[in-house]
Amino acid sequence: MKSELRPLPYAKNALAPYVSARTLEEHYEKHHRHYLDQLAKLVRGKPEESRSLEELIRHADGALFDNAAQVWNHNFLWRSMRPPGGGRPPAAVCAALDEAFGGQREFERRFAEAALGRFGSGWAWLAKDARGRLSVSSTPNAENPLQKNATPLLTLDVWEHAYYLDHQSDRAGYVRAFLEHLANWDFVEENLAAARPASRG
């Protein structure tokens, strides 16, 4: 398990005005780092120190699970956004969204519904389940589709710390900005390809 924060894949001002440099300064440098520091304290000198984040997410509970999952979720969040993102996905992703939801627009409606319907803190996800089906969901707090053996494809953090500085209480505006301007479809395509069973090429 790495004890250093993985570098952001872009400059801190790259997602502005939808996610500002000030938000990333707080969210990445403080919140994400705090989860990593807490996790390092919890595993120090214990067998869990050599476990991967994925193993901890699948097998740990309590504070160990919460901090391991929040480190993983934020690593995944940073790559779920890009400047400029949103727009039309690559052909392979469009085909997968068509098959699962009847199109990108319906996917986005369901994703926004999941993000807005999450009471309190949590995450919205696009994931591929163990049977190979794409689905949209939301999870509370640190929970993650890996716990159900699904493969996450895209996520959005809907904890208030993710959007309050830029959007105040307008979570809907934050979710819309993510879908229209930040969603990293190339990352979804990579995750989809990695999730494909080897037997099917």
> Closest-CB residue for Fe ion?
157
- If the CB atoms of residues 21 and 194 are measured against Fe ion, the closer one turns out to be 21
**Rounded least distance, CB 179 to Fe ion, Å:** 18
Task: State which residue, 10 or 100, has the beta carbon closest to Fe ion.
Answer: 10
Shortest Å, Cβ 162 to Fe ion: 5
Contact footprint for Fe ion (CB under 5 A)? 157, 159, 162
HEC profile of the chain: CCCCCCCCCCCCCCCCCCCCHHHHHHHHHHHHHHHHHHHHHHHCCCHHHHCCHHHHHHHCCHHHHHHHHHHHHHHHHHHHECCCCCCCCCHHHHHHHHHHHCCHHHHHHHHHHHHHHCCCCEEEEEEECCCCCEEEEEEECCCCHHHHCCEEEEEEECCHHHHHHHHCCCHHHHHHHHHHHHECHHHHHHHHHHHCCHHHC
Q: How far is the CB of 80 from Fe ion (least distance, A)?
A: 12
Minimum CB distance to Fe ion, residue 193 (Å):
27
Which is nearer to Fe ion, 159 or 185 (by Cβ)?
Answer: 159
